A and B are shown apart, each in its own frame.
Chain A
Amino acid sequence: MFFFFYNAGTPYSDPNARLLKLIEAFQERAPFYVAKRVFQRHQVPIGHGWENTIEAATGYKGVADVDGLVTAYLDHICSGEKSVRFYDLGNANVDNLRLQYQNFKNAPFLPLPLSGQQLQKAQLCDPTLVYVHQTPTGIAAIYSSVRKKDERQRLSVQSLPKAAQQAIGDFEEIIGIHSRKVQAYDVVWVPNNGRIIEVRADFLGNETQETVTNAHQKIYADVHVKSGSKALIAPVDLFPAIKPIYDNSNEGIVIELAFATSTGSTKHEKMRDKDACLRKEVYHVNGKAALAADIEPYRIGVRWVLTDQHGEFSSPELFLDGRATMAASTSPGLFSAIIRKCSDSLEYSEIKQKLESYL
Chain B
Amino acid sequence: MSVDASEPIAEIDRILGDDPACDVAKNIAKNIVALPPSQAKYISYSQLAKFGHVEPADGRLLQCVATLTSGRVHLLNVFYVYENVNGEEYKISPEQLQEAHRHGFLVDPDSGEAVKDFRKHLYPYFERSN
Contacts and interface: CB of A to CB of B under 8 A. Distances in A.
B53 interface: no
Interface in B97-122: 99, 103, 105, 107-114, 117, 120
Interface stretch (A26-34, A62-70, A111-119): A26-34
A282 B41 contact: no
Interface stretch (B13-21, B54-62, B66-74, B85-93): B85-93
A51 interface: yes
Contacts of A152: 85-86
A105 B113 CA distance: 39
Contact of B109 (A32, A53, A272, A281): A32
A35 B86 contact: no
Contact of A273 (B39, B41, B117): B41
A175 interface: yes
Contacts of A153: 85
A273 B42 contact: yes
A115 to B, nearest CB: 16
B85 A175 contact: yes
A273 B38 CA distance: 11
B107 A48 contact: yes
B76 to A, nearest CB: 16
B81 interface: yes
Q: How large is the interface on A (under 10, 10 to 19, 20 to 34, 35 or more residues)?
A: 20 to 34
A206 B36 CA distance: 39
Contacts of A154: 85, 117
B41 A50 contact: no
Contact of A32 (B85, B112, B120): B112
Most buried by A among B99, B109, B111: B111
Contacts of B39: 282
Contacts of B81: 272
A192 B105 CA distance: 48
A53 B103 CA distance: 13
A9 interface: no
Contacts of A51: 113-114
Contacts of B91: 272-274
Contacts of B99: 48
A16 to B, nearest CB: 21
A32 B108 contact: yes
A214 interface: no
Contact of A282 (B38, B105, B117): B38
A108 interface: no
Given A272-B42, A272-B81, A282-B38, A50 B89 contact: no
Interface in A183-222: 205-206
A60 B50 CA distance: 54
B110 A31 contact: yes
Interface in A256-295: 272-274, 276, 280-282
24 contacts: A27-B112, A31-B111, A32-B110, A32-B112, A48-B99, A48-B103, A48-B105, A49-B107, A49-B112, A49-B114, A50-B113, A52-B103, A153-B85, A154-B85, A154-B117, A156-B117, A206-B86, A272-B42, A272-B81, A272-B91, A273-B41, A273-B91, A280-B38, A282-B36
A-B pairs with lowest CB-CB distance, top 3: A32-B112, A49-B107, A50-B112
